[in-house]
C-alpha cells in the first residue's frame, strides 16, 4: 500500500472510536519492526521521527528518506510524522521531504505565545497540505522530569484549536514522557470532557507509562493517536541484551539487532490490539511475512 496521510488514518479512527498507534523511530530496525507489527495486526500505523532523533543523527534527511521508503513499501497504510519539533525550520524540512504530518511543540511557552507560534506553523503547513498536531498543557518528562499533575483545560483547548487551526491536539491527562514503569494514573473524566468539547482528534503522549487496560480505556473515553516510544525501546533493548548474553563472542550487528527488531514487531502488533486499532486487511502470518521479505530482497 502507498504512504498515506496521517489525517487519513487518525480522523476516521477518531470518528469510529479506534486508537491509532504512533511509534517512534530512532534507527532503521525500529521502522522495520513497527511496519512488521502493523502487518501482523493488519492495521495502519504512524512512524514518528522526533527532534531528539534528528539531533542524534545530525540531520533529518538520511533517516527520513529511509523511513519514507519503508512506509511506501508497507503492506498496510503507514503515515510518517515529525514528532515534538520545537524548531519551525525543522518543520519546513519535514514538509519538503514529504512528511504527511508534523507535531509542533510550543507547549513550554505561555498560552498566548504558544498560540501565535503554532498558528504560524499551521498556516504554512496547511498551504502544503500537511496535517498539524500541537500540545496544550505541557506533558512532562522530555527532560527526565515527570509531571503527572499537568492538566489541559477543556475550555482552553477549545479556544486553542479555534485560534490555531490545528488538526489534532496532544493533551495533558496524567501521563509523562520517558516513564520506565507502567503505572501512570489517567484522568478519564478529563479525557471524556476533552473529547466532548474539542472538535479535533486527541493525542496521548507519554503512553509508555500507561498499563494495557488503561490504554484501552483511554481510547474508549476519547483518545485516538497514542504515542509510544520508551516502552518499545525497552522491549528492543531487552532482546538485544539477551542475544549478546547468550553469545558473548557475537560481533555481527545484524545477529543481535534482528532479535530486537523481531521482539519489537511482536509488541507493536500486541499494542495495536490493546488500542483497538482499525483493521484494514487480514493479519499476516509469520510464514507469509518471511516469504514476502525474501521476495522483496530478491526482487
Distance CA 186, CA 172 (A): 9
Q: Backbone phi, then psi, for 207, in 5-degree steps?
A: -75, -10
The grid coordinates listed for 272 are 495495536
Asked if residue 35 lies in contact with residue 66, where contact means CB atoms within 8 angstroms, the answer is no
Active site residue 83: yes
Q: Backbone phi, then psi, for 96, in 5-degree steps?
A: -65, -35
Active-site option among 83, 105, 167, 187: 83
As a three-state string, the secondary structure of the chain is CCECCHHHHHHHHHHHCCCEEEEECCCHHHHHHHHHHHHHHCCCEEEEEEHHHHHHHCCCHHHHHHHHHHHHCCCCCEEEEEEEECCHHHHHHHHHHCCCEEEECCCCCCHHHHHHHHHHHHHHHHHCCCEEEEEECCCCCCCCCCCCCCCCCHHHHHHHHHHHCCCEEEECCCCCCCCCCCCCCCCHHHHHHHHHHCCCCEEECCHHHCCHHHHHHHHHHCEEEEEECHHHHHHHHHHHHHHHHHCCCCCCHHHHHHHHHHHHHHHHHHHHHHCCCCCCCCCCCHHHHHHHHHHHHHC
Catalytic (active-site) positions: 83
Amino acid at each position: 500500500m502507498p504512504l498515506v496521510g496521517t489525517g487519513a488514518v487518525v480522523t476516521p479512527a477518531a470518528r469510529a472510536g479506534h486508537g491509532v498507534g504512533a511509534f517512534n523511530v530512532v534507527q532503521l530496525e525500529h521502522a522495520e519492526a513497527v511496519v512488521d507489527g502493523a502487518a501482523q495486526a493488519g492495521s495502519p500505523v504512524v512512524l514518528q521521527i522526533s527532534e531528539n532523533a534528528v539531533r542524534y543523527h545530525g540531520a533529518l534527511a538520511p533517516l527520513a528518506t529511509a523511513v519514507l521508503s519503508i512506509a511506501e513499501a508497507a503492506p498496510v497504510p503507514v503515515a510518517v510524522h515529525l514528532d515534538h519539533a520545537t524548531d519551525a525550520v525543522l518543520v519546513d524540512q519535514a514538509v519538503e521531504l514529504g512528511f504527511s504530518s508534523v507535531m509542533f511543540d510550543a507547549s513550554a511557552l505561555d498560552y498566548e505565545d504558544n498560540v501565535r507560534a503554532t498558528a504560524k506553523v499551521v498556516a504554512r503547513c496547511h498551504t502544503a497540505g500537511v496535517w498539524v498536531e500541537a500540545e496544550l498543557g505541557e506533558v512532562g518528562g522530555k527532560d527526565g522530569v515527570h509531571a503527572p499533575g499537568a492538566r489541559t483545560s477543556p475550555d482552553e483547548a477549545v479556544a486553542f484549536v479555534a485560534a490555531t487551526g490545528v488538526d489534532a491536539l496532544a493533551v495533558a491527562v496524567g501521563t509523562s514522557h520517558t516513564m520506565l514503569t507502567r503505572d501512570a494514573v489517567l484522568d478519564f473524566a478529563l479525557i471524556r470532557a476533552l473529547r466532548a468539547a474539542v472538535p479535533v482528534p486527541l493525542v496521548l503522549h507519554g503512553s509508555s507509562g500507561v498499563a494495557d487496560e488503561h490504554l484501552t480505556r483511554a481510547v474508549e473515553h476519547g483518545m485516538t493517536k497514542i504515542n509510544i516510544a520508551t516502552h518499545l525501546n525497552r522491549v528492543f533493548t531487552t532482546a538485544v541484551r539477551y542475544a549478546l548474553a547468550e553469545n558473548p563472542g557475537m560481533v555481527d550487528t545484524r545477529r543481535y539487532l534482528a532479535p530486537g527488531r523481531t521482539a519489537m514487531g511482536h509488541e507493536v502488533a500486541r499494542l495495536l490490539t490493546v488500542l483497538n486499532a482499525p483493521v484494514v486487511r487480514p493479519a499476516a502470518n509469520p510464514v507469509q511475512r518471511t516469504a514476502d521479505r525474501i521476495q522483496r530482497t530478491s526482487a
